[in-house]
Amino acid sequence: MLPAYVPNPIAALLGGGTPIDFGKNSPDRRRILGDGKTYRGLFFGVLAGISTGLVQIWLSGMYGLSSLPLHTYLSITLLASGALVGDICKSYIKRRLGKERGEKWPIADQYDLVAGAFVLMLLFDPAWIFTNITIPILISILILTPILHRAVNMFGYLIGVKEVPW
């Protein structure tokens, strides 16, 4: 899951600039996504996730690390892109519900990246997900994701990248 875990914090760290929604409102007069979703964050987040996956592929091939999943170029691209697509979709729904940027939304805030990554994998590379995401691994993902999410967000808050520690 590293190619899916890396994009969000990198997007927050290196994002900024032009918002994906260009500052526009939807018919409900709320922002479509908000200022937190930018093209620069999307680009660097996906790039960082793919780079992480490439390192995993290299380590697996170079050192025969069989404990790593057998990634492909397609799998790392889908995991990295899917994580941010999930985050963007969550932001869209969040705005429709009247929630502001940075406002807590338990469960959705933690699992949006997993949902997005898995949906893209199921659509474009289902064999990979069914081969590599076993029930024990899925349980591990469901347990580790909120812990990692909280730790990374607290760190981001402490270094001034995030406005809130969640």
Tens digit of pLDDT for each residue in 80-95?
Answer: 999 999 999 999 999 9
Mean pLDDT score, 112-122: 97
130 to 23, 110, 114, 121, 122: CA distances (angstroms): 39, 22, 15, 10, 9
Tens digit of pLDDT for each residue in 28-83?
Answer: 999 999 999 999 999 999 999 999 999 999 988 787 766 666 899 999 999 999 99
Q: Can you give the length of the chain in residues?
A: 166
Mean pLDDT score, 134-162: 92
Mean pLDDT score, 95-116: 91
Domain ranges of the chain: 2-158
d(CA 80, CA 45): 8
d(CA 50, CA 58): 12
Question: What mean pLDDT value characterizes the chain?
Answer: 92
> What is the CB neighbour count within 10 angstroms for residue 30?
16
Q: Percent of the chain having pLDDT more than 90?
A: 76
